[in-house]
Amino acid sequence: MLVDAGGFFPEQADYEDAAWFLMDGMKLLGTDAVGMGEKELRYGRSFLLANLKRTQLPMVCANITDKTTKKPLVAPWLVKKVGAVKVGVFGLMSDKVDTGPSRDSLAVSEPTAAATKAVAALKKQGATVIVLLSQLGKVESEDLVTAVDGIDAVIVGRNVPLLQKGRMIKNTVACYGGEQGQYLGRTLLTLSPARKMVSGENETFILGPEVGEKAEILALVKSFEDSFNDKLRKIEKERVAKQAAGSSSESGLEADHFLGAEVCGRCHTSEMAQWKTTSHARAWETLVDNKVDARPDCIPCHVVGYQQAGGWKTADDAAKLGDVQCENCHGMGTEHDSYPTQARRITAETCMTCHNSTTSPSFDFAIYQPHVVHSPVANLPPLPVNPNKKAKMLEMGKGQ
Ligand code: HEC
Ligand code: HEC
Ligand code: HEC
Ligand code: HEC
């Protein structure tokens, strides 16, 4: 069986799309059951219920009900036949959390009592193996399986530290979550002829590139990234429009501001021609090609003067202010007269506002600088090759 402890909705406002995308992805992977926690209620109950209906993702939680009807919000548990074995799966969330925008209509009951009831009900339905998908946290989950008999395995979620190997807690095998879907736990239960657990073990694996991609998932990721990027672009535009409306009395630009490379190129033709051969002149294109050009966490180092005077405000500025240009290194064009005149005054600090230990781990000023000056030495030794660089940067763009 493939199960998930829940707690996978993203932290940010405006990221609803990532939530439905993850639900689609789990369904596509054939997830047999998924738990739920307060994160899944972040965007309200209607959002969750509508997407459960749409995706048919089997979400379970045995201790959340509608306050008025007293009915469970989602299925409390399910029974699934795996070979000849009936496996019962139920979920639990914490009763000490804020249940989000729908908090007034929802009640979360005390987990131990709910678990006792769920185990009895599942046994009655013929389940001989019982699995708990817990959003209680580490200590609370461990306490619960110690107090309630009959749970064979628990998938422990909600801010749990990653433990590579699960462990036995009384008679229950515990598996610990890990962060951001980067790990997969494997729990093996050995059953008696009566199909009851005699022993169990668990281990967690890192999902590295060697695992490979599933074509359908890849297609889903792509369609998600396209539409998500469009949406963020719209939100950003609205934000800027609001800002502009709020400051309509502003009478133009501050004294010092960015001008854009086109202006510099009118006089400095040879520097311009050389700059065009560097990857700095393609930095904006890199974001567009990878469909991350509306992400406020990606734009600043790939454009000129992000949200500063005369600098980048919206994607409409791409032609003028996209890419890492002259002024990223030399400073605002209006300060031209006071640019220092002795050679070699751009220091490593200027570069390292962008080339930091995350974005450019192999950065070394002495090696990189000769590649950007405008009369580069012939036959420069090549830059350090870092084959994972691009993948790593794009990975940054996916984290939530
Ligand atoms: C109207 C023509 C013109 C424009 C436009 C112009 N520059 Fe210059 N720039 C010059 C001249 C002429 C000098 C040499 C000044 C001197 O020697 O005192 C110079 C000097 C410089 C220097 C110092 C070179 C040195 O070693 O002395 C830098 C750096 C520079 N410009 C960058 C820029 C950038 C960046 C822009 C665009 C924001 C820009 N320039 C726009 C004409 C221009
Ligand atoms: C405003 C941010 C920013 C600043 C400042 C900056 N860079 Fe970059 N640099 C980038 C980005 C972004 C790229 C990648 C461009 C792409 O391929 O999309 C890059 C790429 C490079 C590359 C090419 C690396 C390769 O493997 O192809 C070199 C070399 C480089 N920078 C050197 C420098 C040096 C030296 C300085 C300082 C004098 C500097 N950069 C300042 C953002 C910056
Ligand atoms: C702090 C500045 C900074 C931020 C923020 C930033 N980048 Fe970059 N990016 C760089 C620098 C610097 C390089 C070049 C690194 C090098 O070659 O050493 C780069 C290179 C890249 C490359 C590789 C280009 C190539 O083909 O070699 C990609 C892709 C990329 N960035 C995407 C992103 C994405 C996606 C985000 C947002 C999650 C992002 N960047 C945010 C500074 C930044
Ligand atoms: C990645 C950083 C970077 C970018 C981008 C950049 N320069 Fe430079 N530029 C330098 C460095 C480094 C020097 C060498 C002198 C120094 O250290 O100040 C230099 C020197 C110059 C000089 C002095 C004369 C010369 O050719 O050495 C001029 C003029 C100049 N740049 C103009 C420009 C213009 C115009 C652009 C945009 C088309 C540009 N630079 C883009 C880093 C940069």
Whole-angstrom CA distances from 13 to 17, 22, 161, 400 are 10, 16, 25, 11
What pLDDT score was predicted for residue 163?
Answer: 75
**Ligand 2 centroid to residue 393 C-alpha, Å:** 14
Whole-angstrom CA distances from 328 to 152, 301, 317, 354 are 59, 9, 15, 10
Q: Which helix H or strand E contains 3, and what residues bound it?
A: strand 3-4
Is residue 301 in contact with ligand 3, taking CB distance under 6 Å? Answer: yes
What pLDDT score was predicted for residue 396?
Answer: 67
Query: Residue with the nearest Cα to atom 36 of ligand 2?
Result: 351
Residues whose beta carbon lies within 6 Å of some atom of ligand 1: 259, 263-264, 266-268, 326-327, 330, 333, 336, 339, 341
Kindly list the averaged pLDDT for each block of 10 residues, start to end, along the chain of length 400: 94 83 93 96 92 96 96 97 96 94 94 98 97 95 96 93 85 84 87 93 84 88 87 81 63 75 93 95 96 91 94 93 97 86 80 91 91 83 72 63
Q: Which structural domains are found in the chain, ordered by start?
A: 3-211 (3.60.21.10), 258-396 (no CATH)
Predicted TM-score (pTM) of this structure: 0.62
Pairing of strands 129-135, 153-156: parallel
User: Which of helix, strand or coil describes residue 184?
Assistant: strand
What pLDDT score was predicted for residue 211?
Answer: 81
What pLDDT score was predicted for residue 179?
Answer: 65
What pLDDT score was predicted for residue 399?
Answer: 47
